[in-house]
Amino acid sequence: KAGVTQTPRYLIKTRGQQVTLSCSPISGHRSVSWYQQTPGQGLQFLFEYFSETQRNKGNFPGRFSGRQFSNSRSEMNVSTLELGDSALYLCASSLDLVSYNSPLHFGNGTRLTVT
């Protein structure tokens, strides 16, 4: 069974640009969560999608948005990039909502560098 696939693996963008990251969950998984990982703040929750609906959102500005498609694939978008957005963005999928005790399966992440 294929794992969680995130594309691209690496991105370099300039301040002010926007970026879209993609996540393909494990087949049959309906929940997709996104996390930002930085050396200073660690792993922080961005949002969780289930059945194409955002079910939960972390404390990030509105520049961070996401969506989920009918096949459970998900994208997240960051607009007006800032230097502080440089991070490893991790996507995780699970059979059910995280709060329903479904183990998370993570992709290898997208490394975003903003210059």
Partner 1 sequence: KQEVTQIPAALSVPEGENLVLNCSFTDSAIYNLQWFRQDPGKGLTSLLLIQSSQREQTSGRLNASLDKSSGRSTLYIAASQPGDSATYLCAGGGATNKLIFGTGTLLAVQP
Q: Which stretch binds partner 1 (CB under 8 A): 12-20, 64-72, 77-85, 91-99?
A: 91-99
How buried is residue 105: exposed, middle or buried, by Cβ count under 10 Å (0-12/13-18/19+)? Answer: middle
Task: Give the whole-angstrom CA distance, residue 36 versus residue 84.
Answer: 11
Torsion of CA 90, 94, 96, 101, to 10 degrees: -90
The reply on whether position 95 binds partner 1 by CB under 8 A is: no
The reply on whether position 108 binds partner 1 by CB under 8 A is: yes
Site string for partner 1, 46-85 (x = CB under 8 A): --x------xx-x---------------------------
Residues near partner 1 (CB under 8 A): 4, 6, 33, 35, 42-45, 48, 55-56, 58, 90, 92, 97-99, 101, 103-109
